[in-house]
């Protein structure tokens, strides 16, 4: 039956609408909270905002008191803070983010010009992270189980080695990882450009180092999520029962393990979005990648409050959007959340019930 077809809404459809409704309310709260906190923090920064904006416009060598006063009068920086905040809140309700104090262009125009660069970087970083984490995590999980059940030490050594490398990468700040990659592959070997961006086929070369810098930190954690999920699934009663039915390891893994391993990974990807958004600000500045993070850093130095509020607001809403997609995927893929029959393999409940009448202790064939 179509989830959103005619007639009364089904249980899955009600669940989907409930998730979307909650996330819309969260998006409204995030929009207000991010903008308000950004406004207060920028007002609390030391120094003269008018002087900084004038310096960003004309250069520090050409700024004097008269130029700063002219900028202050032009932009209304001498108005009371509550009045300025009220105007911003009223404009936000009308979906107007104002104009940049430095360029004079619309904030939406400035952000849209940088957005697709950040989307490219984040998408490629997530792809690299999954390509690294999934096979490595599955290999470590299976190797650890072979070491525990069959005494094969090679799997244990692999698991320990990957754990050591993952911890070493994870404890490093993302800009340190980026600097190491830049020193080795750009300045040392000369394989990739140091910074900037290109167009056409050459753009991928400029993307590689920033994307890898973000991907390594994410993969260092997500490979352990995949490893733990693999061990849990491959040592579960429903998986062992599938082996007892005559399926080999590849068939049992394809039918009964893949989806159950994907569920915790999908949930973790939503959590990793926070780290990814934080890392984008530093990595884009390090590699001079013209994305939202790079624009946000320049706006902070120039005290361009509308741009700062707009960029921070967009990042907060992107976080809500990614978490909404994660919740929807998790809800659709996990039949236990909406009571539908599973499409791929056995659920832990149904497999355990089927196995309970056949054997008390299940052990997979060698």
Give the pLDDT band (50/70/90) at residue 357. Answer: very low
Question: Do 269 and 326 meet the contact criterion of CB atoms below 8 Å apart?
Answer: yes
Separation between Cα atoms, residue 97 and residue 289, nearest integer Å: 24
pLDDT of residue 10: 57
Look over the chain and give the mean of its residue pLDDT values, rounded to a whole number: 76
Do 127 and 245 sit in the same domain of this protein? yes
Separation between Cα atoms, residue 366 and residue 140, nearest integer Å: 18
Separation between Cα atoms, residue 299 and residue 208, nearest integer Å: 26
pLDDT of residue 363: 41
Least confident range of 56-60, 177-181, 268-272: 56-60
Domain range spanning residue 72? Answer: 33-93
Flag whether 213 is in a domain. yes
Do 280 and 331 sit in the same domain of this protein? yes
Separation between Cα atoms, residue 284 and residue 330, nearest integer Å: 31
Give the pLDDT band (50/70/90) at residue 103. Answer: confident
pLDDT of 63 above 50: yes
Residues forming a β-bridge with 106: 99
Do 257 and 219 sit in the same domain of this protein? yes
Question: Do 268 and 225 meet the contact criterion of CB atoms below 8 Å apart?
Answer: yes
Q: pLDDT tens for residues 219-275?
A: 888 888 888 888 888 888 887 887 788 777 777 777 777 777 887 888 787 777 777
Least confident range of 35-39, 87-91, 268-272, 362-366: 362-366
Do 54 and 116 sit in the same domain of this protein? no
Helix (H/G/I), strand (E/B), else coil: 93: helix
264, containing H or E segment: helix 258-286
99 phi and psi, to 5 degrees?
Answer: -115, 155
Do 193 and 246 sit in the same domain of this protein? yes
Flag whether 257 is in a domain. yes
Q: What is the pTM of this model?
A: 0.73
Flag whether 153 is in a domain. yes
Do 188 and 297 sit in the same domain of this protein? yes
Bigger pLDDT: 46 vs 196: 196
Helix (H/G/I), strand (E/B), else coil: 28: helix
pLDDT of residue 12: 62
Of the residues 62, 93, 124, the one at which a domain ends: 93
Separation between Cα atoms, residue 100 and residue 287, nearest integer Å: 24
Q: pLDDT tens for residues 195-210?
A: 877 776 677 888 889 9
pLDDT of 310 above 80: yes
Over residues 74-91, mean pLDDT: 75
pLDDT of residue 343: 41
pLDDT of residue 347: 41
Do 42 and 185 sit in the same domain of this protein? no
Q: Cα angle vertex 160, ends 185, 239, to 5°?
A: 115
Do 89 and 232 sit in the same domain of this protein? no
Do 73 and 188 sit in the same domain of this protein? no
Do 169 and 290 sit in the same domain of this protein? yes
User: Looking at the 3D structure of the chain, how many domains does it have?
Assistant: 2
pLDDT of 2 above 60: no
Q: What sign for the dihedral angle of Cα 11, 16, 17, 18?
A: positive
Do 139 and 225 sit in the same domain of this protein? yes
Separation between Cα atoms, residue 286 and residue 366, nearest integer Å: 51
pLDDT of 4 above 70: no
Nearby residues of 300 by Cβ (< 8 Å), 6 or more positions away: 308
């Amino acid at each position: 039956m179509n989830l959103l077809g005619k007639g009364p809404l089904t249980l899955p459809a009600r669940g989907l609408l409930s998730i979307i409704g909650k996330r819309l309310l969260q998006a409204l709260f995030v929009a207000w909270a991010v903008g308000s906190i950004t406004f207060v923090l920028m007002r609390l920064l030391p120094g003269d905002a008018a002087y900084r904006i004038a310096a960003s416009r004309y250069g520090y060598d050409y700024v004097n008191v008269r130029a700063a006063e002219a900028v202050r009068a032009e932009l209304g920086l001498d108005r009371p803070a509550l009045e300025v905040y009220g105007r911003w809140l009223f404009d936000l309700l009308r979906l107007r983010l104002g104009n940049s104090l430095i360029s004079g262009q619309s904030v939406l125009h400035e952000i849209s010009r940088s957005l697709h660069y950040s989307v490219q970087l984040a998408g490629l970083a997530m792809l690299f992270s999954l390509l690294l984490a999934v096979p490595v995590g599955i290999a470590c999980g299976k190797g650890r189980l072979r070491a525990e059940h069959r005494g094969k030490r090679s799997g244990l050594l692999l698991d320990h080695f990957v754990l050591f490398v993952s911890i070493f990468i994870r404890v490093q700040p993302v800009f340190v990882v980026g600097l190491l990659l830049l020193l080795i592959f750009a300045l040392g070997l000369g394989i990739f450009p140091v910074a900037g961006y290109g167009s056409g086929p050459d753009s991928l070369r400029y993307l590689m180092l920033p994307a890898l810098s973000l991907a390594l930190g994410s993969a260092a954690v997500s490979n352990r999520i995949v490893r733990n999920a693999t061990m849990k699934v491959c040592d579960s009663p429903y998986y062992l029962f599938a082996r007892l039915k005559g399926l080999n390891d590849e068939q049992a893994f394809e039918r009964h393990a893949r989806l159950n391993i994907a569920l915790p990974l999908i949930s973790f990807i939503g959590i990793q979005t926070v780290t990814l958004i934080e890392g984008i600000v530093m990595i884009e500045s390090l590699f001079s990648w013209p994305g939202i993070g790079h624009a946000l850093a320049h706006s902070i130095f120039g005290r361009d409050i509308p741009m700062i509020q707009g960029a921070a607001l967009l990042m907060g809403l992107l976080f809500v959007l990614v978490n909404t997609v994660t919740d929807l995927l998790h809800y659709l893929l996990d039949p236990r959340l909406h009571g539908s029959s599973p499409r791929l393999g056995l659920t832990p409940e149904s497999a355990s019930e089927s196995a309970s009448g056949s054997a008390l202790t299940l052990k997979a064939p060698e």
